[in-house]
Amino acid sequence: MVMGGRFEMKRKCIYGAFFLLASLTFGFFSPNETVQIRIFAHLRVNSAKVQAAKGVYRLIADNQMIAVMSPTVWFDCFSRNDSVEVMVNGVIVGRYRFIKMVAEVDGELKIKLTDPEKPVRTYQDHVSFAVMEGALRIVNDIVLDKYIGGVTEAEAGSRTFYEFYKVQAILARTFALAHINKHATEGFCLCDQVHCQAYFGKPRDLSISKAVDETKGMVVVDDNLNLIIAAFHSNSGGQTANSEDVWGKATPYLRSINDTFSLGMPNSKWTRRMLKDDWLTYLKLKHNFPVDKEEGKRIATNFYQNERKVYLESGGVKVPLKIIRQDFLLKSTYFNVVPLGKDSILISGRGYGHGLGMCQEGAMRMAKLGYSYTEILKFYYKNIQLINLQKLSFYKDE
């Protein structure tokens, strides 16, 4: 293979991403399209064991089939300089620039990282290995909706309400297609980390696959029929945020709403105790907040949000609440500050996350109360439409 696996994977992802985007434009979308997802992307992987758990797999190495993978045998893969070393039962099969485990029909692979040591995960369809920067790069080449099933479980958790699985599946599909080129120049489409979407392989809850199938092809679009930014968070604390207050840009469908469904849920409230001197020193030194003045000190230690605010401000000084959240690793920017005795303050917060778009815990409660996935999505996102991708070009042509 000329130039090794990196060139082939990069070319395939770019072509695959182009085809998916062209499909969206011209209305030929098929749920059987594949995407390339880098897995274990946050780790430096030096070795892994792989086993065919279901179906027949062919092991292709540098464009040649070298083995049929048996369900009873684990294949070991090691990073060796710029090559992947394959070993079976302690015997080296060979070293290759690029290997791929190719499923003939509906295959499943078990992958267990051995350096670093991690539990077994199950991945559907095909998996490839190459060495990049001295470590294994593992990519799952998978049918889009199978990937969406894995994302839905990773983002929503298991054993939740069936209608909520539909909501999360539609958002996951919308996000994936809107960001399909995110890592194309690196040789894959998306990765398995939260800045793309969390993905840990095949979902264990069978009802998730059913929910994905029932919403096949469904995505969320704005008034101009463009895929939305499918933002969501854990808990809104009773009020979601406006996009301009978090990202600096107003978006018609990411508008602040009162969200009573989130109240009383596990992440709706939280507290943090802190020494008053530490709090005031932080504000003074980092933000030049006027804590030396009576008014500034009073506001700093008696700060209330009946509705979401963007700044802590006094004397013309504005401190962005999102910076405070970041610096102190707070769960949200929706918090009050009150005195606690003579020497401490209590940061009393609401919600968990940036507050944009769908509140997951609120949506779960809505699902429990009998709301449909359409009602849930239209509650949290304004001025949107749910549409099947196969119909998208027809409406755009109109």
Q: If residue 367 lies in a helix (H) or strand (E), which one and from where to where?
A: helix 360-368
Distance CA 333, CA 319 (A): 12
How does pLDDT run along the chain (398 residues), one tens digit per residue? 233 344 344 444 544 544 454 444 434 455 578 999 999 999 999 999 999 999 999 999 999 999 999 888 999 999 999 999 999 988 999 999 999 999 988 899 999 999 999 999 999 999 999 999 999 999 999 999 999 999 999 998 877 899 999 999 999 999 999 999 899 999 999 999 999 999 999 999 999 999 999 999 999 999 999 999 999 999 999 999 999 999 999 999 999 999 999 999 999 999 999 999 999 999 999 999 999 999 999 999 999 999 999 999 999 999 999 999 999 999 999 999 999 999 999 999 999 999 999 999 999 999 999 999 999 999 999 999 999 987 765 555 55
Q: Measuring CA to CA, which residue among 82, 88, 83 is closest to residue 49?
A: 88
Q: How many helices and strands, by DSSP H and E, does the chain display?
A: 11, 22
Burial classification of residue 263, based on how many CB atoms lie within 10 Å of its CB (0-12 exposed, 13-18 middle, 19 or more buried): middle
The structure tokens listed for 66 are: 């070298």
